Chains A and B, each alone.
Chain A
């Protein structure tokens, strides 16, 4: 066995796992605060990447302007989605809201195809392209930098989440909506801001994912892998999303390298089935007790 190759694949897996963890974080945040599983996360991610392309390639803005603008626009769109589509569904069954987000994903795909066309595109290069060597192992610079950025964002976010007042409000809402409301927390405001924040995170992840593999309207399939990540980690566990993200990234990359590209999805979904059968609430999720 070629250990160098093995470790290179492992590194690449950890790298893509960082992006999974970042997007998984967005999914977990929405679920924690609003009890909505957002099936459109992959499409929001794709939308963010396309908006970035619109600013950087279409309007030829410099990177320092295009990236924040794309993230802001996508965040704004997240807020609009929450107000128009998710808010009226408040109190409906989880399955209905799940279906609404599937419908939303489909609408976003259609919008992107109308505005930017259905063909795959490449993003403007903005990361240095000289390869990184860790020991002797080669790592594609894009994957490396994407992982570094994802890790920094994740770390920042976790700190903010622990210390900032808004983060506390969010955690209080996640714990008990009624109690949070009666303690004077603006729960609808928390809902809106969570959608804005997660849309911004997804846009950032979308720009990173797109700069590695290019973008296309089918990019939303990425959301399926992220779904596996959060189910494996536990739908309401931030730590779970981080660990499962890296785990899924590694498994997927190894399956792709040793068995062939078509085994990637198979491997992640077999992992999903295994987790659902053994620990349905995920590795770190809360085991909900059902009362009559």
Chain B
């Protein structure tokens, strides 16, 4: 806590941002988000959109895994449900994108609830394995329900449009992705100031004690699954608007592991952690690509080694953070902040 910011009443204590400095930074960030698409090129715009989509999905998984303690390896499959829903609606019905995204979230959360049903009987590892099963089965459905999903070749959909204006380039789709991401992040942050969010945390800390305290386990675990998959569904919908080609291979099991890795690296049970983790894990491959670009004149094999090195770095980051910094980047960030806030004192 910053020196000289005593919390004098409950409102202060529950506030999302506790100092004016923090609020000022948020305003600056908002301004930066609004200006960004005008100054960024194609590549930066593409990266930013990808990062934002991953942030939505990672935050959803964080609600389920980081805050409720239910490990899921089905996040990518739920995203797939959302993406296919959006694509089918956009191709066949042509409904407005906001409605499509809502329906996509709804469809994904329905699937999520069905997958979550075993969560009362099985937990921990068994639940993780049940969600692997769910993602294998969903992948099968995507690949073989040809009349609806287009089978292995997938679906190609038209771009989203606002008032007849089509959003094709990353810097244009950004105007859908960015506001929705911000709204969903605030939604997630506020969720944990409500009874529902607190119930999730109680379940994570000790589910039997939570039940003794009067929290209906089944209802809240399923609710957590529903909210988390809603985020995944919306993220999948945004993904669909962004790439506009959806195949069963777009959402592999590896992608679910990516999201789980993102919350581990970022910090479980922290909204900031989900954001940092998603940004970091999305940027690492890009930074590796840049390094290859720098190295390839000196070392011609760099391009060939790139893909395996990326896999190694991905796994290595998971191992490194779990062993050395289980609270993730969010904790590192907090330590840095604490250092400056308490200066000249030491922690």
Contact = CB atoms under 8 A, between A and B. Distances in A.
A and B together in one complex? yes
Nearest to B257: A102
Contact of A99 (B122, B260, B307): B260
Contacts of B260: 99, 102
B6 to A, nearest CB: 36
Given A103-B319, A109-B311, A96 B326 contact: yes
The binding surface of chain B is classed by DSSP as helix
Contacts of B129: 227, 231, 272, 276
Interface in B243-265: 257, 260-261, 264
Given A89-B322, A290-B208, A262 B125 contact: no
Given A85-B323, A92-B322, A276-B129, A104 B140 contact: no
A103 B122 contact: no
A217 to B, nearest CB: 8
A103 B128 contact: no
Interface in B299-322: 305, 307-319, 322
Contact of B133 (A106, A272, A290, A292): A272
A158 interface: no
A106 B309 contact: no
Most chain B beta carbons < 10 A, residue from A112, A269, A292 = A269
Nearest to A291: B208
Contacts of A118: 307-308
B121 A100 contact: no
A276 B118 contact: yes
Contact of A110 (B132, B137, B140, B311): B311
Contacts of A273: 118, 130, 133-134, 137
A276 B322 contact: no
Most chain B beta carbons < 10 A, residue from A37, A96, A228, A273 = A273
A277 interface: yes
B312 A99 contact: no
Given A88-B323, A103-B261, A277-B118, A266 B136 contact: yes
A85 B319 contact: yes
Contacts of A277: 118, 121
Interface of A: 37, 85, 88-89, 92, 94-96, 98-100, 102-114, 118, 224, 227-228, 231, 262-263, 265-266, 269-270, 272-273, 276-277, 280, 290, 292
Given A95-B128, A265-B136, A273-B137, 10 more contacts: A85-B323, A103-B261, A106-B311, A106-B314, A109-B311, A113-B307, A114-B308, A266-B140, A272-B129, A276-B130
**Which 10 A-B residue pairs are closest in the complex by CB-CB distance?**
A106-B315, A103-B318, A110-B312, A113-B308, A110-B311, A107-B315, A103-B315, A110-B308, A103-B319, A269-B133
6 contacts: A107-B316, A107-B319, A111-B312, A114-B309, A262-B140, A262-B143
Interface of B: 71, 118, 121-122, 124-126, 128-130, 132-134, 136-137, 140, 143-144, 208-209, 257, 260-261, 264, 305, 307-319, 322-323, 326
